[in-house]
Amino acid sequence: MADLMQGPYYGATVGTGNLHSLQAEHKAVTRIEPVSLVILCLESSCDRMSQPGTKTDPHRTQRRVLRAVAFFEFVKGAFVLVMGFCALALVHRDLWLIAESLLALLHISTDRHSAQMFLDFADSITDARLWAAARIAFAYAALRFTEAYGLWKERTWAEWVALVSGTLLLPLEIRELLRGLTLLRCSVFVGNLAIVLYMLYVILENRRERRNAAALSAGR
């Protein structure tokens, strides 16, 4: 009888002990889970960084800047190309009447000094000047389109073209600044100067990398 009464009591005590131990283990697991998750995340991120395909390209920033400059040069070429076609459209036209109509459209009185200067300038333009302006515009646009293509493809000759052409424009832009400071002139000058300096940096950096590569190959 005592054995029968002891059996269920003993089983109940064992079941209660197992329940407490399971609860303790569950609490311990729930406490460790956040730490283990963080460790797993760190390990996975380290594994991804160690893979060769996920390494950052050291020339990625340079490529992006070159393509941004290429797009800017393309826009400049397209604008000048449109100006060249406009010059051709004005051939054999009365530019003084066109200028007067433009002033009337903008509600600018012809009695103003600036308006008179604009009319005199329009009257002085000849067909020969328009043809010359169109030829210069087309040549300039072709140069900018070629430069934009080369910079987009990361060609060394395009970097030199951008450096030389931008440097040649700096004296003209400085002369325009001396005539009077405007937001447009300052923006063009700062933008062109930034492009020239960056092209110089890219050329020197690429030359240094080629020298290092040649020295490593010679050392082998």
pLDDT at position 93 over 80: yes
Rounded CA gap, 202 and 209, in Å?
11
Joined together, the tokens standing for residue 208 give 């240094």
Nearest to 195 by CA among 158, 170, 166, 161: 166
> Which residue is it, tokens 């390990």?
43
Nearest to 143 by CA among 196, 78, 198, 57: 78
Hey, what amino acid is at 2?
A
Q: What is the pLDDT of residues 51-65, one digit of tens each?
A: 444 455 657 888 899
Measured in residues, the chain has a length of 220
Name, in order, each residue with C-beta under 8 angstroms of 185's C-beta and a sequence gap of 6 or more: 173, 176, 177
Q: Which pLDDT value is given to residue 110?
A: 83
pLDDT at position 206 over 90: no
Rounded CA gap, 134 and 220, in Å?
56
Name, in order, each residue with C-beta under 8 angstroms of 189's C-beta and a sequence gap of 6 or more: 170, 173, 174, 176, 177
Which carries the bigger pLDDT value, residue 180 or residue 19? 180
Q: pTM to 2 decimals?
A: 0.66
Which carries the bigger pLDDT value, residue 78 or residue 30? 78
Please say whether the dihedral angle defined by the alpha carbons of residues 73, 76, 82 and 86, taken in this order, is positive or negative: negative
Q: What is the pLDDT of residues 144-190, one digit of tens each?
A: 999 999 999 989 999 999 999 999 999 999 999 999 889 988 998 99
CB atoms within 10 A of CB 198: 19
The model's confidence at residue 103, banded by pLDDT at 50, 70 and 90, is confident
Q: Which pLDDT value is given to residue 57?
A: 61
Q: Which pLDDT value is given to residue 116?
A: 87
pLDDT at position 49 over 70: no
pLDDT at position 48 over 70: no
Nearest to 162 by CA among 66, 85, 26: 66
Q: What is the pLDDT of residues 110-142, one digit of tens each?
A: 888 888 888 888 888 899 999 999 999 999 999
> Do the Cβ atoms of 158 and 150 come closer than 8 Å?
yes
> Do the Cβ atoms of 170 and 178 come closer than 8 Å?
no
